[in-house]
Amino acid sequence: MVTAARQGGSAPDVARVFPDGFLWGSATASYQIEGATAEDGRTPSIWDTYAHTPGRVRNGDTGDIATDHYHRWREDVALMGELGLGAYRFSLAWPRIQPTGRGPAVQKGLDFYRRLADELLAKGITPVATLYHWDLPQELEDAGGWPERVTAERFAEYAAIAADALGDRVKTWTTLNEPWCSAFLGYGSGVHAPGRTDPVAALRAAHHLNLGHGLAVQALRAALPSNAQCSVTLNFHEVRPLTGSDADTDAARRIDALANRVFTGPMLQGAYPEDLLKDTAALTDWSFVRDGDLEQISRPLDFLGINYYTPTVVSEADGSGTHNADGHGRSTHSPWPGADQVAFHQPPGDTTAMGWAVDPTGLYDLLTRLSSQFPTLPLVVTENGAAFDDYADPSGQVNDPDRIAYVRGHLAAVHQAIEDGADVRGYFLWSLLDNFEWGYGYSKRFGAVYVDYPTGTRIPKASARWYAQVARTGTLPGA
């Protein structure tokens, strides 16, 4: 069991009050919850194709039904209202809105998100829309996918459609969720859709995701009112060397470049890191970066979304670690192009059901470092949470003290970062509902709300009630 004492000493012994206006929310993703994958004009995404490929997803699970949110959205919004959430971060399914990835929108798809946003607003919940949480229309993948420039151009057109349709309701927008996963797990190790294993394609995909982000920001700004906010969400790796040796320190530098600075460099500083280009020079000369791309990519943002779950520990490869110990799924192919001499190690301490170490100090270090690097850019924790082996007891209750301990520790880390000067504006718990957990299918439960998959019944877990109290009061109680 996770205990407060094992969380880096971060659990508070006194109540901690968050700043006025701090945004409390929860998050989901379209393919993980919606289902209805062939209704109202929606066509297959790369995740539909991937999940239906034998051997790709545990137990052969797919998102065909998921939690059936497409039909039960009103019930789910009512739950959010009962839990006192101030905001809900959801993603739009690109193939539900623009089935081929090009051309006019399907109004029934847009109507679903219009109704969802209206219901959220009626409950006093701020809608936060993510344009891309990994469900690329399959037709665009058939044309080359993210390794090709045209996909970035199509993404900007889709962003304009979404903003035109929803901009009167939705004022907070995120372009991409975790482009590292899209590029390096999707095209490098193959443990995510579309399941390709080409290190050069992964690097090309990373650039065109960056470009798509910049073009989408431009499209959003053109279509949205002046008070709208634009952001991107990155799954930062809090990279730590196994030892203080020069070799391990350099291993951490390599992974930091591939995991973090490949996105923050062009997006926030207008340049790719020189060490990244050098590390990957044997694979590519980066000639796919064209004149003007970096100016497009580095358009100003209103805040930076941060997803954090666990730290990453690396060393020089010496036979004691593996690229498969990075917590992202097993593959004979590495998601780390140009880093063959880096090994990954399991961090010490308690773990979640994913096998991820519980360490809130990683979130504190990440927030304070990013605040120091980008002092004028507000930060929002857009995902943080944990999977545990939850079950409903004979009385129909779901008690999850481990999740409460995990979230308590990480909220304490956020509060401490704010106390120490970091401009953190909000926190979104991952996830609102148990759901389809990508390659793990339905075997991992991240939700604050338990879902009985055969019936679709929702049962708020003890952690949901606990988090609701924190959100309502803006106060993290003492341990």
What is the signed CA dihedral for 461, 367, 342, 57, rounded to 10 degrees? 30
Q: Tokens in use for 361? A: 């100090």
- Whole-angstrom distance, CA of residue 202 vs CA of residue 180: 9
Radius of gyration, alpha carbons of the chain: 21
CA 177 vs CA 156, 210, 328, 405: distances in Å: 15, 12, 16, 26
Name residue 428's beta-bridge partners.
25
**Cβ neighbours of 318 (radius 10 Å):** 11
- Whole-angstrom distance, CA of residue 440 vs CA of residue 59: 8
Residues with catalytic roles: 178, 383
The C-alpha angle 328, 48, 231, rounded to 5 degrees, equals: 60
CA 391 vs CA 48, 329, 436: distances in Å: 28, 24, 16
Helix 361-373 vs helix 401-419: angle between axes, to the nearest 10 degrees? 30
Q: What are phi and psi of 69, to 5 degrees?
A: -60, -30
Let me know if 172 is exposed, middle or buried by CB neighbors in 10 A (0-12, 13-18, 19+): buried
- Whole-angstrom distance, CA of residue 307 vs CA of residue 130: 14
Nearest to residue 460, comparing CAs of 413, 395, 392?
392
